[in-house]
Chain A
Amino acid sequence: MSGLNAFQLLNGLTFAALLFIVASGFTLIFGLLRIVNLAHGALYLLGGYLGYAAASATGSFLVGVLAAMAGVAVCGLILDRGLLRFVRGYELRQVLLTLGVAFVLNDMTLVIFGGDTYTVPTPDFLKGAVRFWGLFYPKYRLFVLALGVVVFIALWVLLNKTRLGALIRAGVDDPEIIAAMGINIRKVFLLTFMLGAALAGLGGAVGGAFLTLYPSADSEILVFSLAVVIIGGRGSLVGAAVGALIVGMLNTIGQVMFPEFAYFVIFGPMAAILAFRPLGLFGKAA
């Protein structure tokens, strides 16, 4: 058993940042819209492959990221308008439907990209390492950490300080009344769903550059996202951030100190938290 060093702590933090990016999209869809979208992991992986393909073809990491976000947002549009609208309000049917979609998406990416492992190419200025506090640390991982913070701030401002954010909150509180006030709330919800999907795509493109992309990466990230949102409390942005930090750090601690129990180190505390706070740390009753 070895102790933790600063390098590993930073790894935990950067993994937490990536988890937050993916889980914030999940909390928009699962927490606010109350849609149990088990295809969120598949959307992440799809974003990764799209990012890889676009970045490789154009040589631009930024184009890869934007293509992943746009492509997965369109996929979210089709998923919501084409399928989920028929099972609105039926959670079990949503679970089965989105699970089916996840299988279909995975098989499609397997057909197109095969079973090989891919890494999204990063731009030159993010290659290499920086030296601080006596350690070398990869620039790219620090970039992911910063991106997580930026996404948190942007989402917080969107939800709390803009009219669209107020519309989303009002729609979550009482969709019938906000509609009776002249708002086409279905459109607002669709936009929210697409934003949540785009965040999964962003996570896929960004994560695909340091976690690599392979056929079962989607279920791992889905399980982690579920843990983040359940620990943090569904629908809470701060909860998703705290949940991501907890899961990211526990994952690192588990892998370094108790490699045999790496999953238990995450899901053991999760079960304990749920026993005392069934709605998660920042969850509120609906």
Chain B
Amino acid sequence: MLEVADLHSYYGDAHVLHGASLEVKTGEVVALLGRNGMGKTTLIRSIMGLTPPDVREGSVRWKGQELRGVPSHEIAKRGIAIVPQGRRLFPSLTVTEHLTVLKKASATHGWTVAKAFEFFPRLAERRNNRGNQLSGGERQMLAVARALMIDPELILMDEPSEGLAPVMVQHLEGIILQLKQAGLGILLVEQNLYSALAVADRAYILETGRVVHQALASDIAEDPSTLTKFLGVH
């Protein structure tokens, strides 16, 4: 469904992605692992059409169509949503407004406000609060709920477990698996290896802007030598 091939992205003169390639199939959860500064967020931003970075070579194909050069609002309309690093909620909007701003409250198809509140009951309780009045876990739920409102087929999640308490991380894993069951594809960037490997079907390891390893998530989890070799985990 999503095919990234030989992508080269730059921040100014800094060459960050050196020919990164990966693939996400329909309904698949794919983990993108790697240490800080290896280009994970750059890859997510390159797929979503956000600038910077500046993508100078390679291709991003979605259902066979090239996404390079397509504005990010068009990419979103074609069915790719993002849960950005750091959540990036809108401080001036209430919880409900985060959802209705993307889809009319009266809409009946796909993800509706009612369905989102059913899926995240905590958010329903906080519907009139503003984004900056929520706890870390609630913020992350709202960032996911917001992404769902565009009825995506693929969600790019950039470090969703960052800053969450262990119990919330487990909760998040449950949500990711539920979304997978609903048929959504997810590209999951994580620092939290064990959380990512617990929900992913496959994993890619990114090092200095290249994919240096790919395997079934279960194989990586069972073979600690990979983790030691690429990610410095002991």
Interfacial residues, chain A to chain B (CB-CB below 8 A): 163, 166-167, 169-170, 172-174, 176-185
Complex contact B150–A166 (CB within 8 A) = no
A182, B71: Cα distance in complex, Å? 9
A182 touches B76 (CB 8 A): yes
- Chain B residue with the shortest CB-CB distance to A171: B90
Bound-state Cα–Cα, A153 to B71, Å? 36
Report the count of interface residues on B (CB-CB < 8 A): 26
Answer yes or no: B190 CB below 8 A from chain A CBs.
no
**A163 CB contacts on chain B under 8 angstroms:** 100-101, 104
Q: Would you give the shortest CB distance from A219 to chain B, in whole angstroms?
A: 33
B146 at the interface (CB under 8 A from A): yes
**Closest CB-CB distance, B77 to chain A, in whole Å?**
5
CB of A180 within 8 A of CB of B50, answer yes
Verify B84–A166 contact, CB threshold 8 A. Answer: no
Within 8 A of A (CB), among B26-48: 48
- A173, A177, A180, A182: which contacts B92 (Cβ < 8 A)? A173
Contact between chains at B104 and A181 (CB < 8 Å): no
Instruction: Give the Cβ gap from B72 to chain A, nearest Cβ, in Å.
Output: 5
Please determine whether A166 and B93 come into contact, CB atoms closer than 8 angstroms.
yes
CA distance A261 to B82 in the complex (A): 57
A184 contacts across to B, CB distance below 8 A: 71, 73
A182 to B82 alpha-carbon distance, docked (Å): 10
A180 touching B104, Cβ below 8 Å: no
Report whether A181 and B92 are in contact in the complex, using a CB–CB cutoff of 8 Å.
no
Q: How far is the CA of A173 from the CA of B97 in the complex (A)?
A: 13
B81, A181: Cβ atoms closer than 8 Å: yes
Question: A173 to B101, alpha carbons, bound, how many Å?
Answer: 13
The docked-state distance in angstroms from the alpha carbon of A97 to that of B150 is 38
**B76 and A173: CB pair below 8 A?**
no
Count: A-B pairs, CB below 8 Å:
65
- Those 5 A-B pairs whose CB atoms lie nearest each other, nearest first: A182-B76, A169-B92, A173-B90, A166-B101, A170-B90
Is there a chain A Cβ closer than 8 Å to B88's Cβ? yes
**In the bound complex, what is the Cα–Cα distance between A174 and B93 (angstroms)?**
11
Residue interface mask B59-99, A partner, CB < 8 A = 1: 00000000000011101110001101000101111000100
Residue in A closest to B147 when the chains form the complex, CB atoms: A181
Question: In whole Å, how far is A163's beta carbon from the nearest beta carbon of chain B?
Answer: 6
Partner of B84, one of A170, A180, A183, A185: A180
Q: Please, which residues of chain A bring their CB within 8 A of the CB of B149?
A: 181
CB nearest to A182 among chain B residues: B76
A172 touches B92 (CB 8 A): yes
A180 to B146, CA, bound (A): 11
With A166-B97, A169-B93, A182-B77 known to touch, is A176 a contact of B102 (CB < 8 Å)? no
Residues of A within 8 A of B102 (CB): 181-183
Please name all residues of chain A whose beta carbon is closer than 8 Å to the beta carbon of B76 when the two chains form the complex. Answer: 179-182
Q: Which residues of A contact B84 (CB under 8 A)?
A: 177, 180
Instruction: Say yes or no: B100 contacts A180, CB within 8 Å.
Output: no
- Residue pair B73, A183 in contact (C-beta under 8 Å): yes
Instruction: List 23 interface pairs A-B (beta carbons < 8 Å), by A numbering.
Output: A166-B97, A167-B101, A169-B90, A169-B92, A170-B90, A170-B92, A173-B90, A173-B92, A174-B88, A176-B50, A177-B82, A178-B90, A178-B101, A179-B72, A179-B73, A180-B48, A180-B72, A180-B76, A180-B84, A181-B81, A181-B149, A182-B73, A185-B73
Task: Point out the residue from B71, B100, B150 that lies within 8 Å of A181, measured CB to CB.
Answer: B150
With A166-B101, A174-B90, A180-B48 known, 19 other A-B pairs at CB within 8 A are: A163-B104, A166-B93, A166-B100, A170-B90, A172-B92, A173-B91, A173-B92, A177-B90, A178-B90, A178-B101, A179-B71, A179-B72, A179-B73, A180-B49, A180-B82, A181-B76, A181-B146, A182-B77, A184-B71
On chain A, the residues within 8 Å of B91 by CB distance are 173
A235 to chain B, nearest CB (A): 10
Q: How far is the CB of A286 from chain B (nearest CB, A)?
A: 11
A169 nearest in chain B by CB position: B92
CA distance A90 to B127 in the complex (A): 37
A176 to B197, CA, bound (A): 30
Chain A residues with CB below 8 A from B82, complex form? 177, 180-181
Contacts of A185 in B (CB 8 A): 73
Residue of B nearest to A176 (CB): B50
For residue A178, which residues in chain B have a CB less than 8 angstroms away from its CB? 90, 101
CA distance A177 to B76 in the complex (A): 11
